[in-house]
């Protein structure tokens, strides 16, 4: 995979959504997270939400894919995500990323996932191996 990562290089932003109950159920089935908070409206209401919310791992998976589609999953050395706020049905999510550091053949990226109102739902950092420039 050919890609150039230099300090300041930005990933092309990826926008996903509006998130549907079907998206959440699809991820639940893929990952095996059957916590009713993610599919049962009555349970979600008792937990204080207006509707079922997405599992944090869905946001993490979407964030990771936006990165690896660009840099190649085989070059990923580390990924860390912090969950800041829940994702609700109807949210439109945008993933952005910028290279903050390059050294010793590894690029560090700062990543974020925001909602349409610009509120951050996930922040992250990643380390990606980059070919050493001759």
Instruction: Report helix angle 56-71 to 21-31, nearest 10.
Output: 80
Within 8 A by CB and 6+ apart from 104, the residues are: none
Output the CA torsion sign for 111, 113, 114, 116. positive
Q: Closest approach of Cβ 10 to other proteins, in Å?
A: 18
For residue 18, give both structure tokens.
């509006």
Using DSSP, state whether 88 is helix, strand or coil. strand
Name residue, tokens 């950092």: 125
116 scored as a contact of other proteins (CB under 8 A):
no
With CB under 8 A as the contact rule, the residue among 3, 21, 23, 39 that binds other proteins is: 23
Task: Write phi, then psi, for 103 (nearest 5 degrees).
Answer: -170, 145
19 scored as a contact of other proteins (CB under 8 A):
no
With CB under 8 A as the contact rule, the residue among 21, 33, 39, 98 that binds other proteins is: 33
Range in contact with other proteins (rule: CB under 8 A) among 2-10, 27-35, 99-107, 113-121:
27-35
40 scored as a contact of other proteins (CB under 8 A):
no
- Nearer to other proteins by Cβ, of 8 and 20: the residue is 20
**Residue ranges in contact with other proteins by CB under 8 A:** 1, 14, 16, 23, 26-27, 29-33, 35, 47, 56-58, 60-62, 64-69, 72-74, 76-83
């Amino acid at each position: 995979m050919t890609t150039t990562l230099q300090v300041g290089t930005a990933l092309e932003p990826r926008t996903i959504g509006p998130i549907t109950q079907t998206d959440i159920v699809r991820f639940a089935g893929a990952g095996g997270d059957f916590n009713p908070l993610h599919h049962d409206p009555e349970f979600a209401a008792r937990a204080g939400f207006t509707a079922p919310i997405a599992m944090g791992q869905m946001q993490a998976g979407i964030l990771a894919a936006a990165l690896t589609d660009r840099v190649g999953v085989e070059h990923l050395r580390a990924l860390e995500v912090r969950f800041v706020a829940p994702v609700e049905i109807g949210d439109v999510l945008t993933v952005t990323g910028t290279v903050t550091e390059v050294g010793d053949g590894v690029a560090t990226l700062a990543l974020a996932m925001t909602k349409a109102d610009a509120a951050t739902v996930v922040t992250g950092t990643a380390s990606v191996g980059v070919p050493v420039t001759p």
